[in-house]
């Protein structure tokens, strides 16, 4: 029943996206594993992993869009939830190494042996069990977001103030995770993973499975996000985005709606991080860098905020551009990224999707909607 509810919530464009993602989940691994290398349709393992990484970024962008595009909360700290999910996954993968580490300690990860720790800290307990680790992937970012949101929304911290304190949050976590005493590997983070759920992590088969998992998880996230924004709750969220005070005066408990979508979004970001880590093979504190979180926001802006397809397109497009530029013209990339921020905010307030809608489909949504949202946010601030 829930499934049919979720599926029914998709519009035509949504169904196309989900179908595409499912097709990707099947075809790309097939192109890697089944198609011979000489064939034009062969997908190399490098390309497969790269695309898998883009898909996790897309899920992160989707989670940012859910709060920013639909509820007007500009989070400059979503990278923190992404990284926390990643660390939870990383801890599981570290425990899976077992005695194959450099110091061959059956329980302690290498960095703890190196730091002369005698036993596992309490917060590392249980991470040898996959179900517990996967639960933590959702629970840790979720609980943090819940606490943070509960405090902030209740005391009506809005607009740029909220943006700045989300940035402070991820900055504080960045500093914390850099410390060796925290027990998360400090500067180097967690790496040298061996296997996941018993499968060697470097094997093409495992990598293909991880890619499929990313694509399917993105599809699931898309369906859930779509169900949320198309439900009555979603309408209230949009009302909050466009006129928070008015919505409150009508009688909605604004902070509860915000808290729900904020926590949901954080969990999605956490899951994205958890899928990201086994594919890139490392998680370190740089994921908490405020700059990384702002970059995720620009993916959404480029794709088109307030649409569900936009963040997916934006995340993939910008990251493809990043990969290409840093390979060919590394010094130009920051110029390009900086210009992207400026150009998109000045000339493309509705991103690629908005551009496509006006130019190709020719049925522009009322452009005022977005502008007014910004103005209202300004008023609230």
Partner 1 sequence: MSFLRLLAILSVLAIGLQPAFAGRVDDAELSSRVTALGSGGFDEVEKAIADLAATGDDRVPAILDHLGEGELMARKADGAVFLAEKAGKDYRLTDPVTGADAGLTPKATVEKIRVNNRLRRAISSAVGALTLMSPDSAVRRAAAEAVMKSADVAAIPALDRAIAEETVADIRATMLAAKATALLASDASEAEKLDSIAAIADLGGRDALGFLSGYTSADGAVGEAARKAAAAIESRLMLWDVGQNLWYGLSLGSVLLLAAIGLAITFGVMGVINMAHGEMVMLGAYATFTVQEAIRTFWPGLFDYSLLIALPAAFLTAALAGILIERSIIRWLYGRPLETLLATWGVSLILQQAVRSIYGANNREVGNPSWMSGSFALGDIQITWTRLWIILFALAVFLALLAVLKRTRLGLEMRAVTQNRQMAAAVGIRTPLVDALTFGLGSGIAGLAGVALSQIDNVSPNLGRGYIIDSFMVVVFGGVGNLWGTLVGALTLGVANKVLEPYAGAVLGKIILLLAIILFIQKRPRGLFALKGRAVEA
Q: Parallel, antiparallel, or unpaired: how do β-strands 282-283 and 195-196 relate? A: unpaired
User: Considering the rule CB under 8 A, would residue 294 count as an interface residue with partner 1?
Assistant: yes
Among 10, 267, 340, 353, binds partner 1 (CB under 8 A): 340
Instruction: Evaluate whether 174 touches 290 at the Cβ level (below 8 Å).
Output: yes
Instruction: Give the nearer residue to partner 1 in terms of CB position, either 15 or 154.
Output: 154
**Residue from 43, 48, 97, 169 binding partner 1 (CB under 8 A):** 169
Q: Does 354 bind partner 1 (CB under 8 A)?
A: no
Distance CA 296, CA 105 (A): 38
Stretch that binds partner 1, among 49-57, 97-105, 159-167, 311-319 (CB under 8 A): 159-167
Question: Toward partner 1, which CB reaches closer, 278 or 285?
Answer: 285
The Cα–Cα gap between 190 and 93 comes to 9
Which sign, positive or negative, has the C-alpha torsion 112, 117, 118, 121? negative
- Identity of the residue, 167 or 226, whose beta carbon is nearer to partner 1 in the bound complex: 167
Q: Applying CB under 8 A, does 186 fall inside the site for partner 1?
A: no
Total number of residues shown for the chain: 381
Q: Is 250 a residue that touches partner 1 (CB under 8 A)?
A: no
- H helical segments located in 304-366: 309-328, 330-347, 351-356
d(CA 24, CA 295): 25
192: left (phi over 0), alpha (psi -120 to 50) or beta: left
Cite the beta strand spans of the chain per DSSP E.
Answer: 190-191, 195-196, 199-200, 282-283
Binding of partner 1 at residue 33 (CB under 8 A)?
Answer: no
Distance from C-alpha of 338 to C-alpha of 313, rounded to nearest angstrom: 19
Report the nearest approach of partner 1 to the CB of residue 380 (Å).
Answer: 9
Closest distance of CB 138 from partner 1, Å: 23
Contacting partner 1 (CB under 8 A), which of 337, 348, 356, 358? 337
Considering the rule CB under 8 A, would residue 248 count as an interface residue with partner 1? Answer: no
Stretch that binds partner 1, among 24-32, 229-237, 308-316, 340-348 (CB under 8 A): 340-348
For position 342 contacting partner 1 by CB under 8 A, the verdict is yes
168 binds partner 1 (CB under 8 A): yes
State yes or no: residue 152 binds partner 1 (CB under 8 A): yes
348 contributes a contact to partner 1 by CB under 8 A = no
Pairing of strands 190-191, 282-283: antiparallel
Binding status of residue 297 toward partner 1 by CB under 8 A: yes
Nearer to partner 1, 290 or 310 (CB): 290
Which one-letter DSSP state was computed for residue 116? T
Q: Say which residues have a Cβ less than 8 Å from residue 97's Cβ, sequence separation at least 6.
A: 109, 110, 192, 193, 194
Residues near partner 1 (CB under 8 A): 74, 76, 148, 151-152, 154-157, 159-161, 163-165, 167-169, 171-172, 175-176, 178-179, 290-291, 294, 297-298, 301, 331, 334-335, 337-342, 344-346, 349, 371, 374-375, 377-379, 381
């Amino acid at each position: 029943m829930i499934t049919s509810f979720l599926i029914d919530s998709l519009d035509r464009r949504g169904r196309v996206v989900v179908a595409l993602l499912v097709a990707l989940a099947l075809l790309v691994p097939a192109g890697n594993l089944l198609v011979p290398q000489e064939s034009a349709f062969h997908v190399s393992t490098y390309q497969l992993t790269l695309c898998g990484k883009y898909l996790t970024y897309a899920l992160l962008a989707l989670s940012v869009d859910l709060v920013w595009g639909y509820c007007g909360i500009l989070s400059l700290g979503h990278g923190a939830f992404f990284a926390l999910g990643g660390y939870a996954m990383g801890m599981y993968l570290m425990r899976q190494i077992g005695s194959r580490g450099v110091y061959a300690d059956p329980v302690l990860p290498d960095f703890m042996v190196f730091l002369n720790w005698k036993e596992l800290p309490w917060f590392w307990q249980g991470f040898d069990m996959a179900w517990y680790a996967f639960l933590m992937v959702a629970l840790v970012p979720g609980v943090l977001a819940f606490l943070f949101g509960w405090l902030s929304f209740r005391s009506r911290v809005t607009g740029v103030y909220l943006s700045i304190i989300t940035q402070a949050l991820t900055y504080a976590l960045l500093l914390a995770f850099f410390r060796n005493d925290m027990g998360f590997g400090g500067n180097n983070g967690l790496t040298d993973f061996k296997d996941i759920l018993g499968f060697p992590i470097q094997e093409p088969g495992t990598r293909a499975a991880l890619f499929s998992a990313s694509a399917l998880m993105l599809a699931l996230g898309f369906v859930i996000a779509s169900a949320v924004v198309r439900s009555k709750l979603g309408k209230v969220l949009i009302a909050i985005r466009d006129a928070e005070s008015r919505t409150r005066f009508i009688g909605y408990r604004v902070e509860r709606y915000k808290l729900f979508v904020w926590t949901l979004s954080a969990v999605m970001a956490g899951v994205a991080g958890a899928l990201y880590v086994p594919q890139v093979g490392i998680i370190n504190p740089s994921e908490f860098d405020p700059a990384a979180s702002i970059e995720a926001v620009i993916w959404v802006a480029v794709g088109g905020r307030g649409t569900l397809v936009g963040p997916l397109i934006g995340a993939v497009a910008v990251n493809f551009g990043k990969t290409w530029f840093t390979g060919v013209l590394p010094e130009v990339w920051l110029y390009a990224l900086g210009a992207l921020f400026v150009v998109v905010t000045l000339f493309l307030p509705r991103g690629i999707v908005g551009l496509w809608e006006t130019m190709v489909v020719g049925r522009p949504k009322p452009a005022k909607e977005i502008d007014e949202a910004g103005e209202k946010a300004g008023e609230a601030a």
